[in-house]
Structure 1
Amino acid sequence: MDRPDCDLDALHRTYRGFALVNPVVAGWELTYRSLIRPLLAIGGDTDAETGGETGAEGGRAASILDIGSGGGDVARMLARRARRDGLSVHVTALEPDARAHTWASGRRRVPGVEFRRGTSGDLVREGRRFDLVLSNHLLHHLDPGELDGVLADSEALAARRSIHSDIRRSPVAYGLFSAGAGLATPLFPGSFIRADGLASIRRSYRPAELAAALRPGWHVQTQPPWRNLAVWNAR
């Protein structure tokens, strides 16, 4: 699905499928409860453009940047989840691929979510800051130079914390996803979900491998059942 000449209809079916698959396999509910909700409850203190939204105790809405947001399902989920908890957030879903950006920004609007096409480097050059910077299933797509660049950009952009969530490579995870995706294939006909998921698991890191690839100041936090979280906290 990363190829520029891939079938566009299949790509769109894949984005729709991710909205169902990610809540099951990506573990963002646990990440939200442990690392995101406590931070959001403090409210926002950055200069991110939040459209005048207010956060905890009348303060500024907490700002979140989702790098490589793809179909936008994680950005939408976080905005909805925070709203259910009575927290005000402004999520910027940043995606460099024109196909993904067009598809995501054309979906039904979710309050507090803004879609933008561009890269993390673009926002660094603009001097933007966000309370929280995150990504989902991005790191295994990057070569070492790109990984270092995204991490450096995250440090410059995150006023409080950055969390890059990715798959933890495991033969068991590969086998279970292969079997589960095979059984679920009728739910996602003509999509890239099974092939993309298996390729992603093969390319992903084990915890020690990811720790060795990170910049100083970052650490790996494992999350059950098969997640690696690359976490950086602003001093």
Structure 2
Amino acid sequence: MGILLRTRAAGDIEQMDRTDCDEKLLDNTYRQFWVINRVLSGWRGLYNRELRTMVKPDQSPVTVLDIGSGGGDLAVMLARWADRDGMTMHVTGIDPDPRAAAFAGRRAPMPGVEFRQAHSGDLVREGARFDVVISNHVLHHLQSRELKQLLADSESLAGHKALHNDLIRSTIAFSLFGVAALPFRKSFIREDGLTSIRRSYTRAELAAAAPPGWSVEHSSVFHQVLACRKG
């Protein structure tokens, strides 16, 4: 691994996480995320392996909580895939950032999808439960204390399993993304994507940070999933 990526850059800050970042660039970033998540994040495979087969005997909706849902593209993608497969799914996307919540709230209404400005802890205090709890590209944003809290909240909220999909820090991922993201203009996609990779965990680092009951699993070429399964 190159010197730049040998140590996790936990102290680096992504532009979109700054409260004073350019709002137009931030909106463009949320708008362009759907391409990144559709093509690069590995969620189609995760959906096929982990969600598509979860049909309840009583035919009630499979409930999914998307923590840190950002602009809402993943929640919408999952609901669309489920609908095409004839599966009943309800996806709740939550994000504590008011800017993300506002962007998601401006989306055209999608059956089976709702968004809230909320923290996972808010839903724990409400006594909420979901079949599956997920997140995408959230873990690397968190400090150690925040990571532990997210995982504790996920265990409380998930009835069957929790799946936190995130990047794997590697020289190859950093180099390829640097080239692949060149077409994304007037947004934070490329700059923040490279920062995200520097902030992300190796498999060994994520396994060391995970509490008992959690395991690091393969997701896609450049992604790993921190998973908790309840049978």
**TM-score if structure 1 supplies the norm length?**
0.90
Deviations 1:118-159 (A, max 9, x none): 100000001000000000000000001000000000000000
TM-superposed CA distance for 1:105, in Å, is 1.1
Which of these residues, 216, 219, 226, is aligned with residue 222 of structure 2? 226
Structure 2 partner of 1:176: 176
Structure 1 partner of 2:8: none
Letter in 2 for 1:89: M
* Distance (whole Å) between structure 1 residues aligned to residue 78 and residue 21 of structure 2: 29
* Distance (whole Å) between structure 2 residues aligned to residue 126 and residue 58 of structure 1: 25
Runs of 4+ with deviation above 6 angstroms: none
The percent of aligned pairs where both chains have the same amino acid is 50
Per the alignment, in what secondary structure is the counterpart of residue 121 of structure 1?
helix
Structure 2 partner of 1:47: none
* Distance (whole Å) between structure 2 residues aligned to residue 101 and residue 116 of structure 1: 6
Is 1:155–1:232's contact at 8 Å kept on the other side of the alignment?
A: yes
Structure 2 partner of 1:65: 65
* Distance (whole Å) between structure 1 residues aligned to residue 79 and residue 188 of structure 2: 26
Deviations 1:1-20 (A, max 9, x none): 11001111110000010011
Deviations 1:22-70 (A, max 9, x none): 111100001111122222x2x2xxxxxxxxxxxxx65321110000000
Letter in 1 for 2:77: M
Structure 2 partner of 1:78: 78
TM-superposed CA distance for 1:223, in Å, is 2.4
* Distance (whole Å) between structure 2 residues aligned to residue 36 and residue 207 of structure 1: 23
Structure 1 partner of 2:154: 154
Structure 2 partner of 1:53: none
1:90-109 alignment runs, 5 A limit: 90-109=90-109
Per the alignment, in what secondary structure is the counterpart of residue 87 of structure 1?
coil
* Distance (whole Å) between structure 1 residues aligned to residue 204 and residue 95 of structure 2: 28
Structure 1 partner of 2:116: 116
TM-superposed CA distance for 1:222, in Å, is 1.6
Structure 1 partner of 2:6: none
* Distance (whole Å) between structure 2 residues aligned to residue 223 and residue 139 of structure 1: 14
Is 1:63–1:130's contact at 8 Å kept on the other side of the alignment?
A: yes
* Distance (whole Å) between structure 2 residues aligned to residue 223 and residue 9 of structure 1: 32
Is 2:41–2:220's contact at 8 Å kept on the other side of the alignment?
A: no
* Distance (whole Å) between structure 2 residues aligned to residue 217 and residue 155 of structure 1: 9
User: Is residue 2:30 matched to residue 1:18?
Assistant: no
* Distance (whole Å) between structure 1 residues aligned to residue 189 and residue 108 of structure 2: 22
Is 1:89–1:112's contact at 8 Å kept on the other side of the alignment?
A: yes
**Greater alpha carbon shift after TM alignment, 224-233 vs 159-168:** 224-233
Which of these residues, 21, 24, 29, is aligned with residue 44 of structure 2? 29
Is 2:59–2:88's contact at 8 Å kept on the other side of the alignment?
A: no
Is 1:155–1:162's contact at 8 Å kept on the other side of the alignment?
A: yes
Which of these residues, 190, 197, 201, is aligned with residue 193 of structure 2? 197
Structure 2 partner of 1:54: none
Letter in 1 for 2:226: A
* Distance (whole Å) between structure 1 residues aligned to residue 115 and residue 190 of structure 2: 26
